[in-house]
Amino acid sequence: MTWDWSAVGDFMPRFWDGVLVTLQALVLGSLIAFALGLIWAMAQRSPLKVVRWPVVAVTEFIRNTPLLVQLFFLFYVLPEWGVTLSALTTGVVGLGLHYSTYTAEVYRAGIDGVPVGQWEACTALSLPRSRTWGAVILPQAIRRVVPALGNYVIAMLKDSPMIAVIGALEMLGQARQFTASTFQPTEPITVVGIAFILIAYPASLLMRALERRLVR
């Protein structure tokens, strides 16, 4: 086996297209996961069973079914009901929706970790529910869960190649397509592996820096 730099050069235009798709899926999927996960977590604490039980049922169903199945459902089944999404949009929604059920549990643990006295103080001061959540509870809860949320960002990055099965060619999808046409797997797969490290490691450092800042 020999290393062919010309193959690397031929692959690089496809690689950068794949990097763009990967980063779009990661960033947008993370935003959906963080925002929707917080909604799930707050809804699960609702005193109304008509709100709490359906949310618990939906999140448990999503968390206990494979991401790949969910992507196929969103891309191939929803059009039968009149909802058609592009491959990249489907990948973003699928990643965000799937990981929102995990971030919901992270948020729940953070909220449960807020001392009971904080809730009692809000009640004693007659703070409205929105003020209690926005000014007292969530700032303390989110500070506690940043490391776990960062772990899920890295996990989402590593799961992003799954969106290639519905046609959203991220880095690995581009590498596989290049390999199929050139029969040179070594160079593109190696480049993609290095790229994942170069994206994941700075992201983990950023999350650690954010964690230290929040602790201070």
Domain ranges of the chain: 12-215
Alpha-carbon distance of 154 to 205, in angstroms, equals: 11
Dmax (CA) for the chain in angstroms is 73
Determine what percent of the chain is predicted with pLDDT higher than 90: 59
Predicted local confidence at residue 216, as pLDDT: 61
Query: What digits encode the pLDDT tens for the residues 93-129?
Result: 999 999 999 999 999 888 888 888 888 888 888 888 7
Q: Which of 160, 161, 145, 147 is nearest to 204 (CA)?
A: 147
Predicted local confidence at residue 203, as pLDDT: 82
The size of the chain, in residues, is 216
For domain 12-215, give the fold: MetI-like fold (1.10.3720)
Alpha-carbon distance of 175 to 190, in angstroms, equals: 9
Cα–Cα separations (whole angstroms), residue 124 to 96, 111, 118, 136, 139: 38, 19, 10, 13, 19
Take residue 160 and report the two structure tokens written for it. Answer: 């992003």
Q: What are phi and psi of 79, to 5 degrees?
A: -60, -25
Take residue 40 and report the two structure tokens written for it. Answer: 């799930």
Segment 179-208 shows an average pLDDT of 90
Predicted local confidence at residue 110, as pLDDT: 86
pLDDT of 1 higher than 70: no
Mean pLDDT score across all residues of the chain = 89
Cα–Cα separations (whole angstroms), residue 160 to 90, 98, 148, 171, 198: 12, 12, 18, 9, 15
Alpha-carbon distance of 176 to 183, in angstroms, equals: 10
pLDDT tier for residue 215 given thresholds of 50, 70 and 90: low
Q: Is 159 left (phi over 0), alpha (psi -120 to 50) or beta?
A: alpha
Query: What digits encode the pLDDT tens for the residues 28-72?
Result: 999 999 999 999 998 988 888 898 899 999 999 999 999 999 999
Q: In degrees to the nearest 10, what's the CA dihedral of 29, 34, 39, 40?
A: 80
Half-sphere exposure in the Cβ direction for 133 (13 Å, CA): 11
